[in-house]
C-alpha cells in the first residue's frame, strides 16, 4: 500500500495534468475526487493539493508506474476531449516515469479504438508486457 506521501504525489501529479488545458472541468474534478477516495485521502488534504503541490515521488514499481499512467489516460479521456497538449504532456509524464516510449505511444494510439478512450486494463498490461519481454 502506498504511503501518505506517495498518495498525495499521485493526486498532485493528476491535478497538474488536469490543469494543462487551463481549467479543471467538473467531470475531471469528480474523477480526481474518486481517485482520492480510493486512495483514502481525506477531502481537506485533497483540496489543499489545488493550492500547493505535494512533493513528487516516482512510483517505485513498474506496476505502480503503469497504474498511474492508466489513471492519467482515464483522466485525459473523462471529458471526451483529447487535446494535443494533453497527449504531449501525458507522453512526457510516461517518459519521466521510465515507461517504454513505444508502449506509451501504443497506448495513446489504441485508446481511440475504445469507447470514451478507456483502454481496458488487460489491453494496457498486454501492451507493456510486449515491451518488457
- What DSSP designation does 50 have? T
Give the predicted TM-score (pTM) of the model: 0.90
Q: What is the reported pLDDT for 53? A: 87
More confident residue, 86 or 33: 33
User: In this structure, is the dihedral angle defined by the CA atoms of residues 74, 75, 78 and 81, taken in order, positive or negative?
Assistant: negative
Find the farthest-apart pair of alpha carbons in the chain and give their distance in angstroms, rounded. 43
Radius of gyration, alpha carbons of the chain: 14
- Record the cell numbers describing residue 118, joined without a space: 478507456
Mean pLDDT of 72-94: 88
Instruction: Say if residue 8's pLDDT is above 90.
Output: yes
pLDDT of residue 1: 62
The predicted pLDDT at position 70 comes to 93
User: Do 115 and 77 contact (CB within 8 A), yes or no?
Assistant: no
Map grid coordinates 493539493 to a residue.
49
Alpha carbon distance 53, 68 (integer Å)? 17
Amino acid at each position: 500500500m502506498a504511503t501518505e506521501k506517495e498518495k498525495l504525489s499521485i493526486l498532485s501529479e493528476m491535478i497538474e495534468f488536469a490543469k494543462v488545458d487551463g481549467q479543471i472541468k467538473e467531470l475531471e474534478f469528480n474523477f480526481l475526487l474518486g481517485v482520492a477516495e480510493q486512495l483514502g485521502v481525506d477531502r481537506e488534504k485533497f483540496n489543499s493539493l489545488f493550492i500547493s503541490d505535494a512533493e513528487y515521488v516516482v512510483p517505485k514499481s513498474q506496476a505502480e508506474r503503469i497504474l498511474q499512467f492508466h489513471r492519467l489516460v482515464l483522466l485525459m479521456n473523462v471529458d471526451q476531449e483529447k487535446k494535443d497538449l494533453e497527449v504531449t504532456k501525458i507522453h512526457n509524464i510516461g517518459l519521466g516515469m521510465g515507461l517504454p516510449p513505444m508502449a506509451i505511444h501504443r497506448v495513446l494510439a489504441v485508446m481511440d479504438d475504445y469507447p470514451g478512450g478507456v483502454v481496458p486494463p488487460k489491453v494496457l498490461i498486454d501492451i507493456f508486457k510486449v515491451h518488457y519481454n
